[in-house]
Amino acid sequence: MSVWYPKNGRVIFHVDINSFYASVEAAYNPSLKGKPLAIAGNPEERRGIIVTSSYEARAKGIKTTMPLWQAKNLCPELIVLPPNFDRYRHASQEIFKLMAEITPLVQPVSIDEGYLDITDCYELGSPLDIAYNLQMRIKNELDLPCSIGIAPNKFLAKMASDMKKPMGITVLRIRDLPKKLWPRQIEEMYGVGEKTADKLRRIGVNKIGDLVEADRFTLRRILGVNGERLQERAKGIDPSPVDPDAIYDFKSIGNSETLREDTTDETVIATLLRRLARKVAVRLERKEVVAQTLQIMIRYHDRRTITRSLTHDEYFFMEDQIFAIANELFDVNWNGEPIRLLGITAQNLIEKEQAVEQLNLFTYQDHLEDEALQKVIDQLSEKYGENPFKKIKQPVNNDRPTTSFQKDFLDDYKS
């Protein structure tokens, strides 16, 4: 079977469970199959917001983040359920266990999607055989539909898995790019958000193929290094490995500032914390990432330095959120002595496009009045949708669920 594998190169899968939350609910309760189904934070209240929906509901015009009253008007027969994160988490663990039976090179990127490097798995059959067998096992054993992209790198595999849903298997080779990838609109490219698409359209980049031909220096001028990286990916170049340990590789963004003179003036301190929060928020936005942990650094007049951090259930990125957390940390940990330097660092970062399941489904509606957060919900929720299931026992609900995809959950499937 090695004839199906490149002598120089890789074979990468991207596995994406279709309409994950809704599919899990239908697998748990088969009477829901084939019906318009939506998951909403407050299904008993008209102010509830749609978190995800089944394909049958989407065919009726139901969309993520749509107000529940509007969804009901469009589809009076819509079945609405509250999220059950324990159920979704358990399903995710079982999915990744099946992937790990094929290869140890499995990299989860969200609760319902992950990469596999099957380059050295030729004894299991051709890539198409392996993909089909995995798809059937997920369907038959967990009653969940999935789409699989097969490509020589992660970016192309991700793009391929989106090309046919539900239950699709798509191969995307370098030679296929002119016909399969480049004619697509630029906003369909993974890693291109609304703001980036707007900037690219201003320089005449309307399709992915236009990005391939765009001037490299112009891309760098308007998008920084990300412009060059996007162009490389559009050309089919992505050397990033499938890294099972990537879940532990948490980046950080921080700023610190030394005061002109040591101070205990709370107004001066609060002003500095606000300024630092603003700088960190700007950098998070520029890099299109969100954070889960915030750390502050306090350096006293005698150069003694302490760091304290707080990890939240929800991801955050806005200035007001960062300032509030930093202020709370400072109030609890400042000993009242004169301060020489303050620093704020956002940690446990993840790209917005990969933070699909990170919002706390049980509390996010409290923030919907904030237009900035609403916009991010739109971005992060674009692929929400997503049983246990025939052979999975119902997990015990010991505590109220928090976020759906935290780092302490990513490698549970290895247990």
Binding residues: 16, 112
Q: Are 353 and 379 in contact (CB under 8 A)?
A: yes
Which residues contact residue 267 at a Cβ distance below 8 angstroms, ignoring those fewer than 6 apart?
Answer: none
Q: Show the tokens assigned to 162.
A: 């989106």
Q: What string of H, E and C letters represents the secondary structure of 320-361?
A: HHHHHHHHHHHHHHCCCCCEEEEEEEEECCEEHHHCCCCCCC
Neighbours of 24 (CB within 10 A): 28
Distances in Å between the Cα of 316 and the Cα atoms of 28, 246, 375 are: 32, 21, 13
CB atoms within 10 A of CB 313: 15
Distance between CA 33 and CA 29 in Å, rounded? 8
| Start-to-end Cα distance in the chain | 31
Contact status, residue 154 vs residue 14, Cβ threshold 8 Å: yes
- How many other CB atoms are found less than 10 A from the CB of residue 329? 20
In Å, what is the CA distance from 388 to each residue of 25, 103, 143, 144, 241?
A: 8, 23, 8, 9, 31
| Residues in binding site for Mg(2+) | 16, 112
| Choice among 56, 94, 113, 353 that is catalytic | 113
Which among 256, 252, 323 has a CA at the least distance from the CA of 291?
Answer: 252
252-263 vs 50-53, strand pairing mode: unpaired
Whether residue 369 lies in the annotated active site = no
- What residues act catalytically? 113
